[in-house]
Amino acid sequence: MGPTSVQDLGRFDQYRFGVGTSGAMDDVALRAGNILLGNDENAAGIEIPMTPFKLRFGRDMTFALTGAEVEAEIGGRAIPPWWRSNARVDEVLSLKTMPRSARCYLTVSGGIDVPVVLGSRSTQFRGEFGGFHGRPLQPGDILRCASPTASASSGELGVEPADLVLARPDVPAGNTTVRVIIAGEYDAFDGAAQDLFWRSGWKITPQSNRYGYRLQGPAVKPISPIEKRSHGIVPGVIQIPPNGQPIIQMRDAQTSGGYPKIATVIKADMWRVAQARLGSTLRFEQTAYADALAAEDEVSVYLDRLRADVRLFAELQGCR
């Protein structure tokens, strides 16, 4: 599922130089971690797609774990999912197994302090810049942390995970259903091909990573082959290469492409794709533009509530 890396929310205004967004695959989880800590929501954290993972804290520090549920332990204490806790100097946080979803996020008070390159701290793997020296994290790497902000919060606290609050109705266990808006070449597929796209369960193949998810299922082919001029694409775009097997563009995707586009996963559901595991099944559900915006509002409401909860808890702490 890709390397462990330093990511913020992404690099959004460098497309004209061929530079894609990078950034946290599950942006909701990164934001939630930063909210728990009182950080700027764009502060950089560590995206961890693989266990085991261990990290030693160089000083007393508040941290949070969000995203995929993970069996985590520090100093003999278990850390629940979507939880903020305090580490003492030299304590080792150990992430053992990630039984259900694909990526967890470790955020620290103040954020991971790597240089801002072209407007972001996210790792740009293809260009080998940003993040920690433009590369995946390796054992032995030492990451600097910025100083906590004035609004920093500390002490044990958990919040409701996004996958509980934002759960979609009627989705069987082990399946992920994501909403999509049809894209430019949808009508180049006949009714039967469109039906196959909507009705099939799509298996996430091992060739899926931060660049894109390559899916496996029945071949969905256009009425006649399409060779388009290269054009801009964004994360979420679902391309259908000539083999008929969809590819969902993810955060490290190229900024342009020419394969026909059947649909685009809505922004509000990209975190669901990010958390879908290799070998699991993905389904697509058509949605309208206005409903996609409403879904984004729903995510905003969820994050607003986290902010309010964290603030309320800090006030209560202050009263004690």
Partner 1 sequence: MTTSDRPRISLLGTTALLFEAPGTFDLPHQQRIWTLATTAAKWSGIREAIPLITNLMLTFETPPRDPNFLISALNDAWDEAQELPIGGREIRLPVTYGGEIGSSLQAVADHCGMSIDDVVSIHAAPLYTVFALGSHPGYCYLGGMDPRISMPRRQTPLQRSAGGSVSIGGSQTGVSASPGPSGWHAIGHTTWTFFDPSWTTPAALAPGDIIRFEIERVIR
What do you get for the CA distance between the two ends of the chain, in Å? 45
Shortest Cβ 294–partner 1 spacing (Å): 10
To partner 1, the closest distance from the beta carbon of 200 in angstroms equals 19
3-state secondary structure of 107: strand
The pair of structure tokens assigned to 115 is: 């240089």
Which DSSP helix (H) or strand (E) runs through 102? none
Residue 3, class by beta-carbon neighbours within 10 Å (0-12 exposed, 13-18 middle, 19+ buried)? middle
- 99 contacts partner 1 (rule: CB under 8 A): no
In this chain, which stretch among 53-61, 144-152, 242-250, 278-286 interacts with partner 1, using CB under 8 A?
242-250
Closer by beta carbon to partner 1, 264 or else 275 = 264
Strands (E), the chain: 5-7, 45-48, 53-56, 61-67, 72-74, 77-79, 83-87, 92-95, 104-108, 157-158, 175-182, 202-204, 212-216, 231-232, 237-239, 247-249, 256-257, 261-265, 281-286
In angstroms, the CA 133 to CA 192 distance is: 48
> Binding segment for partner 1 among 63-71, 74-82, 190-198, 229-237 (CB under 8 A)?
229-237
Report the residue from 218, 231, 285, 317 that binds partner 1 according to the rule CB under 8 A: 231
Residue 10's closest CA among 157, 174, 281, 19?
19
DSSP state of 186: G
**Hey, which residues between 199 and 228 contact partner 1 (CB under 8 A)?**
207, 211-212, 225, 227-228
DSSP conformation class of 276? P
Stretch of residues binding partner 1 (CB under 8 A), selected from 42-50, 150-158, 290-298, 312-320: 290-298
Query: Least CB distance from residue 168 to partner 1, whole Å?
Result: 17
* Residue 152 or 183 with smaller CB distance to partner 1: 183
Cβ nearer to partner 1, comparing 151 with 256: 256
- Work out which of 75, 80, 155, 242 binds partner 1, going by CB under 8 A: 242
Nearer of residues 12 and 313 to partner 1, judged by Cβ: 12
Residues in the interface with partner 1 (CB under 8 A) total 56
Sites of contact with partner 1 (CB under 8 A): 12-20, 117-118, 124, 126-130, 180-181, 183-184, 207, 211-212, 225, 227-237, 241-243, 245, 247, 254-259, 261, 264-267, 289, 292-293, 296
